[in-house]
Amino acid sequence: MTTFQQPKSILLHGRTYLLPSRPTVIVCVDGFDPEYLATGCANGILPTLSRWMTTCFHATGKCAIPSVTNTNNLSIITGAPSSVHGVSGNYYLDKATGKEHMVLDDSTMWGSTILELMADAGVRVAAVTAKD
């Protein structure tokens, strides 16, 4: 009898990602200059974020310039730049109709996401985002 064993890692866009061994939450704050965080923590007005920074992992990511929400968020969940995932802005031009559309789904994206591959590997995954 063969037993399926959950893989310990996934591979996407040439990078290997270890699967979480315990519940993990990632918070991405868009449009938030790192100086706001440093000043807010120093002034005591961001107690929760300050606590997270001292008790959890914290990193400031580099973003595509100019900073574009959809492009950067997709880069986070694909681990790749827009040249790989295919979304280079918050809007795209529909060549068939000539109309501009806000990117609200994965229809213009190339490839997969870290979240999808983790779910396929048996990890319970949830993502919450708001654009409209």
Domain layout of the chain by residue ranges: 9-120
Residue type, 125: V
For residues 66-88, average pLDDT: 88
Give me the residue label for tokens 């994965």.
106
Identify the pLDDT of residue 132.
61
**Mean per-residue pLDDT of the chain:** 88
Identify the pLDDT of residue 118.
95
CA distance 8 to 111: 21
Identify the pLDDT of residue 116.
95
**Residues 114, 33, 129, 57, Cα dihedral to 10°:** 50
Contact partners, residue 42, CB within 8 Å, separation at least 6 = none
Identify the pLDDT of residue 49.
92
pLDDT at residue 131 tops 70: no
pLDDT at residue 130 tops 80: no
Identify the pLDDT of residue 6.
63
Residue type, 72: N
CATH architecture of 9-120: 3-Layer(aba) Sandwich (3.40)
Express each pLDDT in 21-75 by its tens digit. 889 988 887 778 889 999 999 999 999 999 999 999 888 887 767 778 888 888 8
pTM of the entire predicted model: 0.78
Identify the pLDDT of residue 71.
86
Cβ 70 vs Cβ 92: under 8 Å: no
Give alpha helix (H) positions in 9-101.
34-42, 47-55, 69-78, 82-85
pLDDT at residue 17 tops 80: yes
For residues 125-132, average pLDDT: 79
> Strand 15-18 vs strand 91-93: parallel, antiparallel, or unpaired?
unpaired
